[in-house]
C-alpha cells in the first residue's frame, strides 16, 4: 500500500488534456451503463457547521476504484484552516485491498470538478466561444476558467461575485492568464455578452434567470451540491434549449433539478408565480445526462442561438477516474 500527500499529487496531476480525457472517459463509461455508482453518503455535523460526503463508483473493467471522502467545515477559516478537505482511498477492484491512499486535501476533487466544466463546455458550448462570465470568486472560479482554456480559445472574462472585494481579488489572481478581465456590479451585466457562463457560488436562492442569459450561451452551474443550494432560476432551465446534468438523481437531490421536485416545491415560497411545469412534480423539459451525450455523440446545440445548460453536482465516477489517473502518474 502506498501513501501520497498533496504536494506529490499536485505535481503529478494538473489541468491538462490527459486529465481531461480521463474524466471524459469516466463520463462516457457512465453513459454506456458501465459504471456502478451508489448514492452519495452524506452526514451533517451541525455543531461544527460541517458536513462530510463520501462518493464512490466502479468503472467496469477498471483495476481499481476510489472511495472519496470530502469534509466541508465552514468555520475552519476562523481557525486559519481551509473549509474543504479530504482524501481518496484507492482499492483493488479484484480483491478489495487498499492499494493507495491519496491524502490530496481535496486537490483532486477540485481538478476533476473543473475538468467536468470543461467537458460540458466542449460538448455543449459554441466552438467559437471566446468570452466567459463567471459568477463567484472562489477556487473553482479560477480552475473552471483554466480548464475551459483546454477546450475553447477564451479571450475575456467577466466577473460578478456577491462581495465586490472578492471579485476584485479573484480578477487579480487571473491577470496572469492573458485575458481581458472585468468586474461587474450584477450577474446580468457580467453575463450580457458571454458565450459561456459558469456559476460557482454557494447560493441558496437563484442568481441567474432566463433574462440574464444571452442567445447562444452555454451555462455550466456547478455550485449547487446539497439539498439547500441552487443557482439557476426555473425560468432559465425552462427556457434552455437543452438541459443536461451529470446524473439525474443527484441533480434532483442536490442540484438544480430540485427546483422541480415536489418536496422542494412544497416547502418553498413560490412567489415567482411560475407554474409552467407539470403537476406531477417533473420538469417540463427533457433531462439529458452528460455521460449519455458523450457516449452517444449527441449534438444538443442545434443553432448558434441555442441556450444550453449543464448542472454539475460532482459524481463518484469522476473520483474513480481521477484517482486511477493520479495513481498511474504517481507510479510512473
Options 66-74, 169-177, 198-206, 286-294: segment touching a second copy (CB under 8 A): 66-74
Q: Are strands 64-73 and 50-59 parallel, antiparallel or unpaired?
A: antiparallel
39 binds a second copy (CB under 8 A): yes
77 binds a second copy (CB under 8 A): no
Q: Nearer to a second copy by C-beta: 66 or 118?
A: 66
H helix and E strand count, the chain: 11, 15
279 binds a second copy (CB under 8 A): no
Q: Nearer to a second copy by C-beta: 94 or 286?
A: 94
Q: Nearer to a second copy by C-beta: 36 or 189?
A: 36
What lies within 8 Å, CB to CB, of 55 at 6+ separation is 40, 41, 67, 68, 70, 314, 315, 316, 319
91 binds a second copy (CB under 8 A): yes
The distance of closest approach from Cβ of residue 98 to a second copy in the complex, given in angstroms and rounded to an integer, is: 6
54 binds a second copy (CB under 8 A): yes
Cβ-contact 199, 167 below 8 angstroms = no
The distance of closest approach from Cβ of residue 28 to a second copy in the complex, given in angstroms and rounded to an integer, is: 19
The distance of closest approach from Cβ of residue 77 to a second copy in the complex, given in angstroms and rounded to an integer, is: 11
Q: Nearer to a second copy by C-beta: 99 or 212?
A: 99
Rounded CA gap, 194 and 217, in Å? 6
The distance of closest approach from Cβ of residue 119 to a second copy in the complex, given in angstroms and rounded to an integer, is: 24
Rounded CA gap, 306 and 278, in Å? 23
**Side-by-side strand order, sheet with 287-289:** 180-183, 156-160, 131-135, 196-199, 218-221, 308-311, 242-245, 287-289
Q: Nearer to a second copy by C-beta: 67 or 312?
A: 67
Task: State the distance between the two ends of the chain, measured CA to CA, in whole angstroms.
Answer: 16
Options 8-16, 77-85, 209-217, 302-310: segment touching a second copy (CB under 8 A): 77-85
Options 68-76, 107-115, 177-185, 201-209: segment touching a second copy (CB under 8 A): 68-76
Rounded CA gap, 37 and 59, in Å? 9
The distance of closest approach from Cβ of residue 105 to a second copy in the complex, given in angstroms and rounded to an integer, is: 9
List the grid coordinates of 17.
488534456
73 binds a second copy (CB under 8 A): yes
DSSP E strand boundaries for 76-164: 87-92, 98-103, 131-135, 156-160
**CA-to-CA dists, residue 129 to 143, 215, 232, 304, angstroms:** 18, 12, 21, 10
Cβ-contact 284, 276 below 8 angstroms = yes
Contact residues for a second copy, defined by CB under 8 A:
1, 3, 36, 38-45, 47-48, 50, 52, 54, 56-58, 60-61, 65, 67, 69, 71-73, 76, 79, 81, 85, 87, 89, 91, 93-98, 101, 103
Amino acid at each position: 500500500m502506498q501513501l501520497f500527500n498533496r504536494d506529490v499529487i499536485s505535481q503529478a496531476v494538473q489541468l491538462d488534456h490527459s486529465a481531461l480525457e480521463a474524466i471524459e472517459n469516466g463520463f462516457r463509461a457512465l453513459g454506456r451503463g458501465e459504471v456502478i455508482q451508489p448514492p452519495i453518503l452524506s452526514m451533517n455535523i451541525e455543531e461544527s457547521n460541517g458536513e462530510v460526503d463520501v462518493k464512490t463508483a466502479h468503472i467496469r473493467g477498471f483495476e481499481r476504484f476510489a472511495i472519496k471522502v470530502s469534509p466541508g467545515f465552514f468555520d475552519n477559516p476562523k481557525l486559519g484552516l481551509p473549509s474543504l478537505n479530504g482524501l481518496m482511498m484507492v482499492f483493488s477492484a479484484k480483491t478489495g485491498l487498499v492499494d493507495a491512499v491519496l491524502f490530496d486535501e481535496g486537490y483532486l476533487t477540485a481538478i476533476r470538478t473543473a475538468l467536468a466544466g470543461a467537458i460540458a463546455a466542449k460538448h455543449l458550448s459554441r466552438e467559437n466561444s471566446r468570452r466567459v462570465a463567471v459568477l463567484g470568486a472562489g477556487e473553482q472560479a479560477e480552475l473552471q476558467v483554466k480548464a475551459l482554456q483546454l477546450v475553447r480559445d477564451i479571450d475575456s472574462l467577466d466577473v460578478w461575485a456577491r462581495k465586490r472585494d472578492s471579485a476584485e481579488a479573484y480578477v487579480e489572481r487571473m491577470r496572469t492568464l492573458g485575458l481581458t478581465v472585468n468586474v461587474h456590479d450584477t450577474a446580468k451585466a457580467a453575463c450580457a455578452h458571454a458565450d459561456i457562463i459558469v456559476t460557482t457560488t454557494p447560493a441558496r436562492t437563484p442568481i441567474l434567470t432566463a433574462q440574464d442569459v444571452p442567445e447562444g450561451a452555454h451555462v455550466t452551474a456547478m455550485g449547487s451540491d446539497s439539498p439547500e443550494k441552487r443557482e439557476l432560476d426555473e425560468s432559465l432551465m425552462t427556457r434552455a434549449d437543452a438541459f443536461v446534468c451529470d446524473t439525474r438523481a443527484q441533480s434532483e437531490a442536490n442540484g438544480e433539478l430540485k427546483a422541480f421536485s415536489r418536496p422542494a416545491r412544497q416547502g418553498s415560497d413560490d412567489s415567482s408565480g411560475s407554474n409552467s411545469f407539470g403537476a406531477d412534480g417533473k420538469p417540463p423539459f427533457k433531462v439529458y445526462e452528460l455521460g449519455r451525450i458523450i457516449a452517444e455523440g449527441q449534438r444538443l446545440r442545434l443553432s448558434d442561438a441555442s441556450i444550453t445548460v449543464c448542472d454539475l453536482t460532482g459524481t463518484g465516477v469522476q473520483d474513480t477516474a481521477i484517482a486511477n489517473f493520479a495513481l498511474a502518474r504517481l507510479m510512473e
